[in-house]
Each structure stands twice: as structure tokens, then as C-alpha cells.
Structure 1
Amino acid sequence: MEHVPFDDAETYEPEEGWGRAALAGSEKFTFEWFEKPAGHSSPMHDHENEQVCVCLEGELTVHTEEETVVLGEYDSVHLESWEAHRVENATDERAVGLDVFAPGRGFDFWTDREE
């Protein structure tokens, strides 16, 4: 068993106010809690990992090249491997979500990323 108290989780802030915390996971899957400040959007990107994004608080808008969906509290979306997407908080309030990646990944996806 691997217990990861939230206050002890590895954290990363790709941009000011956009915080991420690595929760318990493995090489097969990882869970990342995240918060997005009002008006923030991640850049359009893709990755080898399948992803499920769950909105825990507020509202998140997920854009792909083909469609856009708005996630309310506890709504989720599945993104295939290599499906280009970006996640936006288009509201005036903070949004909180949970990303699940399979296979698992670390924060090096963002830290080693070339723009």
C-alpha cells in the first residue's frame, strides 16, 4: 500500500496559480489533482497517455481539435492517446480537477517540454 497525504504530495506549478499535486499511482496509471485560476488555459498539447479529466469544483472547458465540452462538478471526459487538447477555466472562479493518466507519467511532461 502507498499512502500519499495530500500535504506531502509532490507538487508542481507550471504557471502561476496553475498548481498540480501527484497523488498515489504507479507506472500503469497516475492521479494528478490540479487547480486552475480564473481565465487560465493550458496550451494545446498531446501525449502518449490516455487521460480522464474529472471536474471536482467549478467549471472546466475541454477543447480538442474537433469539439469542446464544458464539465460541471463531477463531470468527466476521456481523451485518447495523442488526442490534442487543452483545458480551460473560462470562469471568474477557481476550478479544481483530477487527471488520471494511463500509463502513468510524472511532472517531467511539463518540465522537459519544448514550446
Structure 2
Amino acid sequence: MKPVAFDEAETYEPEEGWRRVALAGSDRFSFEWFEKPPGHSSPMHDHENEQVCLCLSGELTVTTADDAVTLGPNDSVWLESNEAHRVENTGEERAVGLDVFAPGRSFDFWTDRD
């Protein structure tokens, strides 16, 4: 067993107000808690990992080349490997979510980008 205390977990802030926290995981899967301020959107991007995005609070809109879905608390969406997408807080308050990736990944995905 490998517990991870939230307050001691590895964190990364790609942009002001957009914070990600690495939770327990492995090379086979990883969990990242995140928060986004109102109006914030990640850039359109893709990755080799399959992804499930779960909205914990607030409102998140997940957009792909073909579709968009708005998630409320406890709603989720699955994204295929290499499916281009962005995640935006389209609500009026802070949104919190949980991303699950398979295979697992580290914050290198964001820190090593051009």
C-alpha cells in the first residue's frame, strides 16, 4: 500500500488558478485532482493516455473536435487515447475535478511541452 496525503502530494500549477495534484497511482493508471477558476480553459491537446474526467464540483465543459459536453457534480466523460480535447470551467464559481489516466502519467506532460 502507498498512501498519498493530499497536503503532501506533488502539485503543479500550469497557469494561475489552475492547480493539479497527483494522487495515488502507478504506471498503469494515475489520478490527478484539479481546480480551475471561472472561465479558465486548458489548451486543446491530446495524449496517448485514455482519460476519464469526473466533475466533483462546479461546471466543466469538455470539448473535442466533434462534440462538447457540460459536466455537473458527479458527471463524467471518457476520452479515447489521442482524442484532442480541452476542459473549461464554464460556470461562475471554482470547478474541481478528478482526471484518471491509463496508462498513468506524470506532470512531465505539461512541464515538457513546447
RMSD in angstroms over aligned alpha carbons?
0.4
**Other-structure match for 2:94:** 94
TM-score normalised to the size of structure 1?
Answer: 0.98
Kindly, what percent of the aligned residue pairs are identical? 76
Distance 1:19 1:106 in 2: 14
Distance 2:6 2:60 in 1: 22
**Other-structure match for 1:4:** 4
Structure 1 residue runs of 4+, over 6 Å off? Answer: none
**Other-structure match for 2:105:** 105
1:72-94 Cα offsets, whole Å, 9 max, x none, are 10000000000000000012200
SS at match of 1:109: helix
Q: Give structure 1 stretches of 5+ with no counterpart.
A: none
Distance 1:92 1:72 in 2: 12
Kindly state the Cα deviation for residue 35 of structure 1 after the two structures are TM-superposed: 0.1
**Other-structure match for 2:55:** 55
* Amino acid across the alignment from 2:65: E
How many correspondences in the alignment?
114
